[in-house]
Structure 1
């Protein structure tokens, strides 16, 4: 089961990715993506090993961004790959048949590609401008989501599609009404003044919609 709320790690002002992940877990997040850029693989592997242990302690699942070998070595639950990362087929050869693999998309054609690659879920975005991601794809916004999801339904495609990119608490209701399955957030949780309340309110909004009705 793919969770409807994904937390993507980022370094807080004081601490590391692990600091931020622990805060999110303590707040009630259950699906964590470790996204570490521009650091040696040996350091990312150690982050992944430690993050897997943290997630297991809180009954959560860890997804590793970009690095299939690290996801496998660390015993992660899943792997997430961007459009310019390793092809899904090659990554599947590395991690095996059981590991969850998610893939990024920005257009309906990307979604069709991801479906043909047999990913388990799709991260669709960005919703709005975000400083978290380099080489940002064209902004989609609500109208972009609505148009793409309409094409998805007409094509009879059934796969969890997660909105991503600068999403805040106040955006969730409108995003889910377009027909998306869930949201991925980073700063909205990392920089919250009350992390537990933020996560609880996000889940409340996500769970207020019956998936069969959107």
Structure 2
């Protein structure tokens, strides 16, 4: 049986003190539903090692582990979910490899992107960036709150239904506003990482 789409996910990033798996552990301990392992500058072996550890922490906390980009690693470790960018392997092709039980999300910046990812069979679409963020090198145009509201309004008109997850530079006190605006969920990174890092120094 496929899991529910998480409403709150933490996206790991390179950090001088906290490994990706340790970030996952701390996030799950704080009650975050899902963690996405995002290791753009690492070898497959490094990602595999960190993702395997993170999956153990996810299972201990009944959380959801999402792998960014790598179909191979998601399949090898039996991750709960996979997230693919617009220029990655199309979701429908990944689905053939991973099966119907795995959650597969896709990235989008515009309504057309959302429609494309939905047509490929995405379970949810990560839409961003909400604002400028330093965690992503190739940043798409900023969407912002007004952009999200326009997209949701147009989706309602066209009767397009798919969970939208806001991503990119989101602060913890903005989560509620985004959910009230009609977003299904949010993905956070830098804002939560500061909290997690502080937790290790208490």
TM-score, reference length from structure 1: 0.87
- Residue 194 of structure 1: how far off its partner (Å): 8.6
Give a deviation string over 1:17-39, Cα, whole Å, max 9, x none.
11211111111112111111121
Give a deviation string over 1:25-77, Cα, whole Å, max 9, x none.
11111211111112111221121111111110111110100001100001100
- 1:42 & 1:12 partners in 2: Cα distance? 18
Farther-moved stretch of structure 1 (32-41 vs 11-20) = 11-20
In structure 1, what is the equivalent of residue 7 of structure 2?
A: 4
- Residue 13 of structure 1: how far off its partner (Å): 3.4
* 3-state secondary structure, aligned to 2:82: strand
Residue 188 of structure 1, aligned match among 166, 171, 191: 191
Whether the 8 Å contact between 2:37 and 2:68 is mirrored in structure 1 is: yes
In structure 1, what is the equivalent of residue 121 of structure 2?
A: 118
* 3-state secondary structure, aligned to 2:195: coil
- 2:86 & 2:59 partners in 1: Cα distance? 29
Q: How does 1:133-212 map to 2 (within 5 A)?
A: 133-192=136-195
Indicate whether 1:51 and 2:54 are aligned. yes
Indicate whether 1:68 and 2:58 are aligned. no
Deviating above 6 A after TM superposition, structure 1's stretches of 4 or more consecutive aligned residues are 193-196
Indicate whether 1:94 and 2:63 are aligned. no
Whether the 8 Å contact between 2:22 and 2:54 is mirrored in structure 1 is: no
- 2:146 & 2:132 partners in 1: Cα distance? 15
Whether the 8 Å contact between 2:108 and 2:114 is mirrored in structure 1 is: yes
Tell me: higher relative CO, structure 1 or 2? Use CA pairs within 8 A at least 6 residues apart: 1
- 2:41 & 2:99 partners in 1: Cα distance? 26
Whether the 8 Å contact between 1:69 and 1:95 is mirrored in structure 2 is: no
Indicate whether 1:22 and 2:25 are aligned. yes
**CA pair 5-52 structure 1, distance change in 2 beyond 3 A:** same
- 2:63 & 2:178 partners in 1: Cα distance? 24
- 1:60 & 1:177 partners in 2: Cα distance? 24
- Residue 137 of structure 1: how far off its partner (Å): 0.3
Indicate whether 1:129 and 2:132 are aligned. yes
